[in-house]
Amino acid sequence: SQSIPSLKDAFTRDFGIGTCLNNAQIEERDPQMTEFIARQFNMATPENVMKSGPIHPKWDTYNFEMADKLVAFGKKHNIKINGHTLVWHSQLPPFIRGIKSSDSIRTFFNEHIKTVAGRYKGKVFSWDVVNEALNEDGTMRKSVFLQHLGDNFVTEAFRLAQEADPKAELYYNDYNNEQPAKRAGCITLIKKIQDAKVRIDGVGIQGHWHVGKVPLKDIEESILQYAALGLKVMFTELDIEVLPRNFQGADVNQRMVNNEQSNPYANGLPDSVQQQLAADYEALFKLLLKHKDKVTRVTFWGVNDGDSWLNNWPIRGRTSYPLLFDRNNQPKPAFYKVLALKNR
Ligand code: G3I
């Protein structure tokens, strides 16, 4: 892997280059993978281990083992850690479902943020404080937090995170928040936090896009509008899906089934799609470089195609190819297109 150019080095004066890390990577089960990660990335986000379900399995029990390993990994390899995520309606601990009183939800919310952000005080670079609180139309998503705490819970989360770890950068993170209606809702949310004199440092646009349909205009407009609020803009979970959305079928119960047999790219990506993916990544990075004074980090949601959540969504067992490196950590044409933007 020494002969493969390093992305983080290429973009070192522009923005951070990150990846999410799964359990195997955090535990360094494969030394070659570890070496590869350290060479390519200077930022990392835990794919799962800091979410409330895994880290807070019971009302009064936390499981910090993997999150501690992640922080140690970052320190050892000079990789800044973005904590993900303190408040999210998904991947909650199962005990939450049994809670009926708003007071108890409030207690959980306060204690969780205090305990988790407090443990990693000074050890993580930043936190996705709140993740995915918005609907597509820009209204607040119905969640256990909205239901019991009201729409002030977002501001409250930032206040609590700031108290627990005063030096960590604090972000709001969402998907599709480059789309006009959701972006407007996101801006309203951010202004509300700012009006309360609570600190928010940045906004994460996750960046789960589709080949041939990366919304460059909306992305540029979003960079400008979010930056105008004084925020850093990050692309936090970047991948570009290449599989057609409708290849999977349904079983007799109308449940989606693993229909990898009908995946047109089960045995490899055709060259035309490979080139389109490369062109999409090239155009995107060109745009991000144009706004490098506003964009501070680009994080891929997976090191290589084999790691991607898109192999398991919307059904398990698909073969997808959304990232810059193939299943053997070999650079794809998209990697060289992106790199070439720096070598001109
Ligand atoms: O750890 C269990 C394992 O014990 C069990 O045997 C196995 C069987 O299903 O599940 C394992 O947990 C899975 C976990 O990933 C770890 O692999 C969960 O079922 C699965 O739901 C979970 O998926 C994660 C997903 O968030 C959950 O919503 C994906 O890895 C992760 O990439 C994805 O990441 C999210 C971001 O956090 C937020 N933005 C969207 C993004 C993509 O969905």
Q: Which atom of ligand 1 is nearest to the CA of 206?
A: 39
Instruction: Give the residue numbers marked as catalytic.
Output: 237
pLDDT of residue 258: 60
In a domain, 249, yes or no: no
pLDDT of residue 256: 64
Residue nearest to atom 2 of ligand 1 (CA): 54
Pocket test for ligand 1, best of 309, 311, 320 (most atoms within 8 A of CB): 309
- Shortest-distance Cα residue to atom 37 of ligand 1: 47
In a domain, 248, yes or no: no
Q: Which residue, among 58, 59, 86, has the nearest Cα to 145 in the 3D structure?
A: 86
Round to whole Å and give the CA distance between 285 and 292.
10
At 253 the pLDDT is 65
* CATH code, domain carrying 220: 3.20.20.80
User: Could you list the pLDDT tens digit for every one of the 344 residues in the chain?
Assistant: 568 999 999 999 999 999 999 999 999 999 999 999 999 999 999 999 999 999 999 999 999 999 999 999 999 999 999 999 999 999 999 999 999 999 999 999 999 999 999 999 999 999 999 999 999 999 999 999 999 999 999 999 999 999 999 999 999 999 999 999 999 999 999 999 999 999 999 999 999 999 999 999 999 999 999 999 999 999 999 999 999 876 655 566 666 666 687 788 999 999 999 999 999 999 999 999 999 999 999 999 999 999 999 998 877 788 999 999 999 999 999 999 999 999 75
Residue 85 located in a structural domain: yes
Ligand 1 pocket: which of 48, 171, 307 to mutate (most atoms <8 Å of CB)?
48
Which residue range forms the structural domain that includes residue 144? 7-243+261-319+326-340
- Best residue for ligand 1 mutational test, from 47, 174, 235 (most atoms within 8 Å of Cβ): 47
| pLDDT value at residue 154 | 98
Pocket of ligand 1 (CB under 6 A): 47-48, 90-91, 131, 206, 237, 309
Rounded to the nearest whole angstrom, what is the distance from the C-alpha of residue 342 to the centroid of ligand 1?
A: 34
Nearest-CA residue for atom 22 of ligand 1 = 48
Residue 96 located in a structural domain: yes
Q: Whose CA is nearest to atom 13 of ligand 1?
A: 48
Quote the pLDDT of residue 155.
Answer: 98
Rounded distance between C-alpha atoms, residue 112 and residue 56, angstroms? 8
State the distance from the centre of ligand 1 to the C-alpha of 89, rounded, in angstroms: 14
Tell me the residue ranges of DSSP E strands in the chain: 16-21, 43-46, 80-88, 126-131, 169-174, 202-205, 208-210, 232-241, 295-300
Total domains in the chain come to 1
Let me know if residue 156 belongs to a domain: yes
For residue 55, what pLDDT is reported?
Answer: 98
Query: Per the domain annotation, does 252 fall within a domain?
Result: no
Name the residue with tokens 């950068």: 169
CA of 222 to the centre of ligand 1 (A): 28
Distance from the CA of 48 to the center of ligand 1, in angstroms? 6
For residue 139, cis peptide bond before it (omega within 30 degrees of 0): no
255 part of a folded domain: no
**Beta-carbon contacts of residue 138 (< 8 Å; ≥ 6 apart):** 181, 182, 183, 184, 185, 186, 188
Residue 47 domain flag: yes
Q: What is the DSSP letter of 175?
A: S
Ligand 1 midpoint to CA 259 (Å): 20
